[in-house]
Amino acid sequence: MTRVQRPLSAVPPWVWGALLALLAAQIGWRSAYPQGSPDAADFPPPPRTGLLRIASLGEPEMAARVAMLYLQSVDFSGDRAIPYQNLDYLRLVGWLAAILELDPRSDYPLFSAARVYAEVPDPARARIAYDFVYRAFLDDPNRRWPWLAHVALLAKHRLGDLGLARRYAAAIQRQATAADVPLWARQMEIFILEDLNELQAAKVMIGGLLASGTIHDPAEARFLAQRLEELEKRGSAKNVK
């Protein structure tokens, strides 16, 4: 369904009032903390989605945007070299989940989770962000697979956790079934299996894809067949050694 972008003049006055109030609060907060950012304990717990929906007065999408602006303002002050690392990530993903529930069609919470909060050099916090993206993906795989693909790559290359990366890649392969999901996303698990030296499992998976009849693009079918042939050669060379 196509979403209609309304002009700014159509935004209800209460929304502008709420936004101005948040900005004013942010200015006051900056004045109160001139030398740095607040501690994790100062990050408020997420509101209940029901309360946000009531407060939206029939404008949940706009309310979700205002809530995202507030959330992003929390850690934008101070001179910390690494943003976000002092936030309480359980509260953070609670906010993101509430905002996403308020506007399920929005990509903004998932973009922020995957491309901002998940990229902190703190494995424990990063994993919390990964898990949020994974759980959100399960609710709408055909729209949200790009964000899970991104955190799968982060799990592989930044954390070096091939098992977690495979879990995410397998979820994409099995649940993101729309025709516009690209082959590279659906075959991520195959490459991770190769990294895990699970050549037999990779061959079985490619063979299953080819036999399933779900590959309709001749170019994709040829690519997978060539990949399967390469794996067969690698397996034979390994057995010879």
The pLDDT tens digits for 112-167 are 999 989 988 899 999 999 999 999 999 999 999 999 999 999 999 999 999 999 99
Cα-to-chain-centroid distance, residue 239: 40
Sequence-distant (6+) residues with CB within 8 A of 232 are: 203
For domain 43-73+86-181, give the CATH number.
1.25.40
Q: Give the number of other CB atoms < 10 A from CB of residue 76.
A: 11
User: What is the average per-residue pLDDT within 18-44?
Assistant: 48
Is the separation of the CB atoms in 145 and 181 below 8 Å?
A: yes
Q: What is the DSSP letter of 119?
A: G
The pair of structure tokens assigned to 154 is: 């982060």
- Domain locations in the chain? 43-73+86-181, 197-241
Sequence-distant (6+) residues with CB within 8 A of 130 are: 118, 151, 154, 155, 164, 168
pLDDT band at 35 (very low <50, low <70, confident <90, very high): very low
User: What is the average per-residue pLDDT within 63-86?
Assistant: 68
